[in-house]
Chains A and B, each alone.
Chain A
Amino acid sequence: MTVVAPVTPLLEARALSFHRQDEPVFAPLDFQLHAGELALVEGDNGSGKTTLMRLLAGLLRAGEGELRWRGQPLQRDDCAGEIQFLGHQLGLKTDLSPRENLRFSRGLHGCRDGATIPGVLARVGLRGYEDEPVRRLSAGQKKRAALARLLLLPATLWLLDEPYANLDRIGIALVNELLAEHTAHGGAAMVTSHGAVSFHGGQPRRIRMHE
């Protein structure tokens, strides 16, 4: 009988905590995320989901505990190009068009194999709106433009904070498709959501936040 060697998790947290004004924002967290996995971060309003996502992305400095990337202590320089974060603020310049926004992001991050700007914009349903200034798009369209960035840029781990916000049924289905494709190709994703979520491909790993 062959013994399968344990696969190193892509991202691992041990007793991870964060303090603001010396108050802990969430109870110490332990979790593992492997390549090809999808995780749903659950918790009530104010339980620190967004703080956790920003912490994992590198926007906040961890309080105590340990974060490991591919088995090694997480160094921001090593993994900067492999993590994509999508937060409440979409990171799009409203005076520029989706095409121009994506061109800029590509200039900084490089490009995923085979991805083109017109291609990803079509995939997220913005065909015909590539050159409209973002401020003239609807909230749902803005969200789609931000999702297009996820498709264009190379990344192993997606950290999505409320990706379903502002999207209609079709948009929600789109996010689920993108997540399924991403994990099928060896990527991983962590998602927070207020509402009920049903992903393709069965149950995700669940990470429960406590205060």
Chain B
Amino acid sequence: MANWIPLWLHKLSSPPTFYRFAGTLQPWATALALLTGAIALYGGLVLAPADYQQGDAYRIIFIHVPSAWMSMFIYGVMGLASFIALVWRIKLAEVVAMESAPIGAAFTFITLVTGSLWGRPMWGTWWTWDARLTSELVLLFLFLGVIGLYHAFEDRRQGARAAAFLALIGIINVPIVHFSVNWWNTLHQGSTVKVFGPSKMSGDMLWPLLLMMLATKLYYIASLFRRVRTDLLAMENGKDWVRKIAESEADR
């Protein structure tokens, strides 16, 4: 009974099958992402009440928190895909891991920038070395390192394997960094500033946040599928299924 899951996954990992599968889902994901994103933004920026402590400035959390969540989520997906790519050498896993890195980097960057923008009016500082922000910065370096290493190789599959290995090392490292920065903050008093979390989360504030989290996930799927499809075409260049697609595009 549970057999069909691994069988379906195995079929899905074949490039032409995934190409078609992703191709059908992608437009829906894009549309839904835009829709939920718009509603979430409206709910967060217009509908939700102002925070009694922070006023209107807190509204940036509707972008900051989902971005932070996505950076962690993508880092997890990249790690899983990297593991599969290294152990079973499945091409699709390699592509998913490598194409997730730029998207993850973008979300991490947004997290850092919005965190900084939030910190300024709240705590008077553009940057603070608390454990969470520092871990986000290290995560950004990890994503950039993976992207850099991937492109340093001439053989793409070899580059993907090397970058996947780096991603796995990074996965072990980020919690260690988080822990050590926490310790470091306890040693050097006076720099523990919390840039996360408004004082209280009422229901009016919660639903836009959750909806935005959904929107960002859908965006990730849409963006990832688009990138992976493009990459698969490039990698499988010369194979029959790619030629058929090129011919049918030419006929149109």
Contact = CB atoms under 8 A, between A and B. Distances in A.
Interface in B228-247: 235-236, 238-239
A22 B238 CA distance: 10
A161 to B, nearest CB: 21
A20 B153 CA distance: 13
A21 B238 CA distance: 11
Contacts of A20: 155
B156 interface: yes
Contacts, number: 8
Dominant secondary structure of chain B at its interface with chain A: loop
Interface string A21-32: 110000000000
Contacts of B239: 22
Interface of B: 155-157, 235-236, 238-239
A21 B236 CA distance: 9
Given A21-B155, A22-B235, A22-B239, 5 more contacts: A20-B155, A21-B156, A21-B157, A22-B236, A22-B238
Nearest to A21: B155
B19 to A, nearest CB: 16
A89 B9 CA distance: 44
A20 B155 CA distance: 8
A211 to B, nearest CB: 15
A21 to B, nearest CB: 6
Interface in A22-72: 22
A22 B236 CA distance: 8
Contacts of B155: 20-21
A200 B239 CA distance: 47
A20 B156 CA distance: 10
A54 to B, nearest CB: 15
Nearest to A20: B155
Contacts of B156: 21
B15 to A, nearest CB: 11
